[in-house]
Chains A and B, each alone.
Chain A
Amino acid sequence: MNSASPAPNQDALQKKPWHKRIKWDWTLLAVLAPLTLVLSLVFQDQGRRAGKVTWEFFLEMLVIFPAVLIIMGLFAVWVSREKVVKYLGEGSGIRGLVLSMLLGALPTGPLYIAFPMGAMLLKKGARVANVMAFLSAWACIKIPQELMEFQFMGWKFALTRLSITIVLVGILCLIAEWIYNRIPEKADKSKSAGQT
């Protein structure tokens, strides 16, 4: 932390928030693993139960995680972001919504990767509802994720949640678009490009 840092340096610091500069996963692992061990030695009954549960979940993870990773990899090389964006603007009405959700379910990567794609689509004139549907599908019905849901929550839970979510997201995206088009775009400096 240089106190005399120039403006661009400060900017870079702001772009990398504090929670990204710490390796949370490794830190947590280094704290939790010994803690669990100590707790298990002190409270042996609970420790045995914790050990059993951890082992069971570990095995369940072991049989599904490699498949999830490979599917992620395959999507990453066979479904490029450019291709997704190309097809996403197209289609109107229900067809457009369904297509957006299907495309959102395909690629991988965390939600924040999808935001720039959504922004580009809006700029290109895609329907607000379609972009919302795309982001929602990306967030909650992505295929590698669903493999995990089937494995851990079971078919009944997964299929029920999936079908309810898809219908609901479709309806809510249309409502969101209706509201979106009725709120004037003031105080929104970030994307004043096409607005007057």
Chain B
Amino acid sequence: MMSLTAIVINLLVAVALVASVLKDRNKTALALKVAWNALKRLGPSVLVVIIIIGLFLGFIPEDWIAGIIGSRSGILGVLVSAFLGSILFIPAILAFPLGASLLESGASIMSVAAFITTLTMVGFVFIPVEIKELGKKFTVLRNGLSLIAALIVAVLMGLIL
């Protein structure tokens, strides 16, 4: 079940953890505490996303999803995915299992790339906070250009892969 990717990543993290222990035991203990708190914070969302993926792949006919954001739907599908990615409020690390499930159910690489990139870079929910901290001009520019970036990334991904 363990893929090569998972093995490599776990090895790297294990090395980092050992190095951290050797350098400072207390700090490492604190790091593990931070990790534990993150687990408590993210755990429910992770389960929700896994259940949604199961519902999605189990109950929704594949040709529906493929029809909306599959390769036949072209640019329109990319725009739909970019829009969904911009408005959804999901922890960024969960973007990838979601993206994988979309790919599995027949979405095009272009749409998935647009979805992942907007999900992480464009946060419509955060806009009020961003305006407060950085100003309207900065916020509009950053979100606007991120949206453009997501669309270009999507098209290039579709052409390359």
A-side residues, CB < 8 A to B, are: 19, 25-26, 28-29, 32-33, 35-36, 39-40, 43, 46-54, 57-61, 63-74, 76-78, 110-112, 115-116, 118-119, 122, 128, 131-132, 135-136, 139-140, 142, 144-145, 147-157, 160-161, 164-165, 168-169, 172-173, 175-176, 179-180, 183, 185, 187-188, 190-191
With A and B bound together, what is the CA distance between A172 and B96 in angstroms?
24
With A and B bound together, what is the CA distance between A36 and B54 in angstroms?
9
Number of residues from B at the complex interface, CB < 8 A: 81
Q: Are B48 and A119 in contact (CB under 8 A)?
A: no
With A and B bound together, what is the CA distance between A145 and B92 in angstroms?
7
Please name 15 further chain A to chain B contacts, defined as beta carbons within 8 Å, in addition to the given A153-B103, A172-B145, sorted by A numbering: A36-B51, A36-B54, A54-B58, A61-B50, A70-B32, A110-B91, A115-B130, A140-B92, A150-B9, A151-B96, A164-B156, A168-B153, A173-B145, A176-B145, A191-B134
Q: Are B13 and A50 in contact (CB under 8 A)?
A: no
Query: Which one, B17, B99, B135, B146, contacts A139 given CB within 8 A?
Result: B146
B-side residues, CB < 8 A to A, are: 1-3, 5-6, 9-10, 13, 16-17, 20, 27-28, 30-36, 38-39, 42, 44-48, 50-55, 57-59, 89, 91-97, 99-101, 103, 109, 112-113, 116-117, 120-121, 123, 125-126, 129-138, 141-142, 145-146, 148-149, 152-153, 156-157, 160-161
6 contacts between A and B (CB under 8 A): A50-B59, A54-B53, A64-B6, A65-B46, A72-B34, A115-B130
A interface SS class: helix
B interface SS class: helix
Known: A54-B54, A161-B157, A172-B149. Is A152-B38 also a contact (CB below 8 A)? no
Residues of A within 8 A of B91 (CB): 110
